[in-house]
Amino acid sequence: MQSDGNMPESFEDDFTLVRRSSMGTKPVLEAAGRDAAESDLRHDWKRAEVEAIYRTALPELVFRAQTSHRQYFAADRVQTCQLISIKTGGCPEDCAYCPQSAHYDAGVGREGLLDPQHVIEVAREAASRGVTRFCMGAAWRQAPEGREFENVLEMVRGVAALGMEVCCTLGMLTEEQAGKLKEAGLTAYNHNLDTSPEFYGSIITTRAYEDRLKTLAAVRKAGITVCCGGILGMGEREADRIGLLHQLATLEPHPESVPINMLVRVAGTPLAATPPLDPLEMVRAIATARILMPASRVRLAAGRKQLSPEAVTLCFLAGANSIFVGEKLLTTPNPGPDEDERLLQSLGLKPLEAHAF
């Protein structure tokens, strides 16, 4: 595969396909979608291949990503998700980006586990606004046992009864805990790799990369889908962004959900003074993720409030097909509902309907 900015040979068939479809042969694209669904997804990507894709000229890269996107997803649908912090602050991990770490004074107070009925009511209100995926996050290193875990299971059961996708991020899990979450109705478990294996130790010292992979394995064994992505803008090199994408694309199966986050710099955390990320790096990462993992839902996650409407539009063009709504993501700001509604309307995009997952 070439890396000199020219179209790699593997891109040529898609280029021909879309060129023909632009001349009025819509059935060609529909047939391509059926063919793509029947073909095997690749899990044997080489890092050099990922690098070549990531460094492709941006217009060409976005074009290729759009082609892949349309083979698996409706081009005008965006899934809306809502995230709530069910247990805030006091986390023993030292993740350099996180204001909930007990190691830093970032102005986030400690709050105990929320009442399950309150969480279910928040989910019910979200569902009434068309949100189809509800995510619950707790600042734990390891999901606890006992009453707290039973309360989480009650939350999962209640949200699942609303007909929503249910996702949790609770830290590390045992196989037994994963099994109980599955029985309660959990749809997905979020456990991000954050960055490349090489850069990981610069961001976190209290948990090894292998620990994250073990949790993902426990989730898979329980039959729960995986939500796994990373954070850009933490001072990593381009090679680390490529390394993260390579790690994700060689998981078998691919994560069904791939959140791409942009660092939200919070005073009091070690990364507070990190230079801002070029938004086009978000576009490149999203487009590359879409090409490598075409059947996965790529989520434009944290940091969206730092992006201009034009940058967000490019992310959608690059293959993002999910956003988080609500004015706060755990503890950091997010665009308000009016902003999101105006943006989607201006682009002609529509929220994904319930039960159309």
* pLDDT tens-digit series, residues 225-273: 999 999 999 999 999 999 999 999 999 999 999 999 999 999 999 999 9
For the question of residue 98 being annotated catalytic, the response is: yes
At residue 15, does pLDDT exceed 90?
Answer: no
pLDDT at 173: 92
Share of the chain above pLDDT 90, in %: 64
Looking at the chain, how many residues does it have? 357
For the ranges 31-40, 134-143, 156-165, which has the lowest average pLDDT?
A: 31-40
For the question of residue 304 being annotated catalytic, the response is: no
At residue 62, does pLDDT exceed 60?
Answer: yes
For the question of residue 315 being annotated catalytic, the response is: no
Catalytic residue among 64, 133, 135, 315: 135
Pairwise CA distance, residues 156 & 178, whole Å: 12
For the question of residue 91 being annotated catalytic, the response is: yes
SS3 content of the chain, % helix, strand, coil (to 5): 45, 15, 40
| Backbone phi, psi, residue 228, to 5° | -150, 125
Catalytic residue among 167, 168, 228, 315: 167
Please indicate whether residue 5 or residue 339 has the higher confidence score (pLDDT).
339
Per the CB < 8 A criterion, the answer to whether 87 and 111 are in contact is yes
Per the CB < 8 A criterion, the answer to whether 69 and 294 are in contact is yes
Q: How confident is the model at residue 72 (pLDDT cuts 50, 70, 90)?
A: very high
Residue keyed to tokens 């070029």: 278
User: What pTM, to 2 d.p., does this model score?
Assistant: 0.85
At residue 17, does pLDDT exceed 60?
Answer: no
For the question of residue 228 being annotated catalytic, the response is: no
- Average pLDDT score over residue span 295-322: 91
pLDDT in tens, 339-348: 777 888 888 9
Catalytic residue among 64, 70, 81, 95: 95
Per the CB < 8 A criterion, the answer to whether 264 and 37 are in contact is no
Pairwise CA distance, residues 127 & 122, whole Å: 9
Catalytic residue among 64, 70, 81, 91: 91
Catalytic residue among 207, 290, 299, 304: 299
At residue 162, does pLDDT exceed 70?
Answer: yes
At residue 169, does pLDDT exceed 70?
Answer: yes
For the question of residue 227 being annotated catalytic, the response is: yes
Strands 332-333 and 328-329: antiparallel
Q: How confident is the model at residue 337 (pLDDT cuts 50, 70, 90)?
A: low
For the ranges 18-32, 181-195, 303-317, which has the lowest average pLDDT?
A: 18-32
pLDDT at 71: 94
For the ranges 13-27, 77-91, 298-312, which has the lowest average pLDDT?
A: 13-27
Catalytic residue among 81, 168, 227, 315: 227
- Amino acid (1-letter code) at residue 335: P
* Token reading at 140: 């734990």
At residue 2, does pLDDT exceed 50?
Answer: no
Radius of gyration of the CA atoms of the chain, in A: 20
Q: Which helix (H) or strand (E) holds 340?
A: helix 337-347
Dihedral of CA 24/77/250/300: which sign?
Answer: positive
For the question of residue 168 being annotated catalytic, the response is: no
Pairwise CA distance, residues 258 & 143, whole Å: 22
Pairwise CA distance, residues 129 & 123, whole Å: 10
Pairwise CA distance, residues 321 & 167, whole Å: 17
Pairwise CA distance, residues 340 & 325, whole Å: 7
pLDDT in tens, 182-219: 999 999 999 999 999 999 999 999 989 999 899 999 99
Please indicate whether residue 354 or residue 310 has the higher confidence score (pLDDT).
310
